[in-house]
Amino acid sequence: MISHKLLSHTLFSKCLKGTQIVQYKYIQVSVIGAASEIGKNVALLLKLNHLIRRLQIYDDDNTVHGICLELARIPGGPTVTSFSGDIFLPAAVRYSRLVLMVSRVPRKLGYTREQMLEYNALPVQKICRTLPEHNPDAFFAISSNPINSIISFASALLNNYRAYNKYKLFGITTIDTVRTRALLGNALRVNPRHLHVPVIGGHSDNTIVPLFSNILPSHYSITQSQAETLTRLVRKSGNDVLNLKVGVDAATHAMAWSINEFTEHLLEALCGGYTIVNSYTVNPHFGTKFFSGPNKVGPSGIIETCRSFVMSEYERNLLDQAVPLINREIAQGEDYIQEIESRKHF
């Protein structure tokens, strides 16, 4: 069970980093959807990571080659190679230890979760068909919305293709912890990078449950009224950005930052260490098949999923309301397989 003590130890001591990491360094990472607004920012941030040896960027849009040229002419960092078109998808993922699936169609004003599932299911299907033959052992992380449905969709697909490894499939929900820390830091007037708050549940407005009763360092605390206000702000952050951008763009910079932070943590594990990553994964401990929260990850994948937390009554009520919604959205992802698998895409 991932405990409060373990989270504290991981957050503040970082004793595993640099000491127990076996130098399985210089990893190859693939970014699928790299020509999207989120994808190109993710690629730029990953260009700065000294643990990445090769960065493979892929998109159906041929402008990915221009992005590659730009990145290649920035000194230092990993070697960058670009790929475009279905025929080159196998080459884009082959030999990568981590494959990041970035949303090609980000969330927009007026889009329902069902519409987002329809728009993003086909790209996810393509990568799920490609990985079993060309890179079955990779860590596979998806940021495409709706996460609550897309991960169950991808899991069922990979299971159909006999290549499902529940320990290596991640829904990237780091954006929720990033926003929570930022808002809490403003409320406490401290550096948010020194804070940790578990965020559990799912990754849709009414399923995100920040646990402000579990703030680390533990000498920080907020009132119940503050917790309720901050929870509302975290849950509507995505819509606030969409409204201020007049619906023409999503939270691309925050998403790219969050995906990069998620990747930095996973690279610690892939280099032989252990880390805590907030992600949406297989987890039956809360009455759902999949659940988001802080999970312990090692070189071979997920080692421990979050299991229990001491919660306030307010947080417990939020979670009780979220579980049926998560289960419904999981079922939507699983049910969508029948429709998309009946189409002829190849």
How far is Cα 102 from Cα 42, in angstroms, rounded to an integer? 9
Q: Where are the domains of the chain?
A: 23-173, 174-326
- Residue 331 vs residues 149, 188, 288, 319, 328: alpha-carbon distances, Å: 7, 39, 10, 18, 5
d(CA 318, CA 285): 16
Consecutive H or E run containing 255: helix 252-270
pLDDT of res. 151: 97
- Distance CA(27)–CA(58), nearest Å, equals 17
Assign a CATH topology to domain 174-326: L-2-Hydroxyisocaproate Dehydrogenase; Chain A, domain 2 (3.90.110)
| Token couple for 314 | 């307010």
Q: Looking at this protein, which amino acid is placed at residue 214?
A: N
**Spacing of C-alpha 344 from chain mean position:** 29
Question: Which position has the token pair 């890179």?
Answer: 135
What pLDDT score was predicted for residue 25? 59
Q: Which CATH class is domain 23-173?
A: alpha beta
Whole-number pLDDT of residue 22: 43
Torsion of CA 18, 20, 23, 27, to 10 degrees: -80
Q: Return the CA Rg of the chain.
A: 19
Note whether 117 and 147 are within 8 A (CB): no
Written as tens digits, the pLDDT of the chain (346 aa) is 555 545 544 443 343 343 344 445 579 999 999 999 999 999 999 999 999 999 999 999 999 999 999 999 999 999 999 999 999 999 999 999 999 999 766 666 677 778 888 889 999 999 999 999 999 999 999 999 999 999 999 999 999 999 999 999 999 999 999 999 999 999 999 999 889 999 999 999 999 999 999 999 999 999 999 999 999 999 999 888 888 887 667 789 999 999 999 999 999 999 999 999 999 999 999 999 999 999 999 999 999 999 989 999 999 999 999 999 999 999 999 999 887 766 655 4
* Of 286, 329, 325, 324, nearest in space to 305 by CA: 286
For residue 87, the 8-state DSSP code is: G
Give the residue from 116, 126, 106, 89 showing the smallest Cα distance to 42: 106
174-326: same fold as 23-173? no
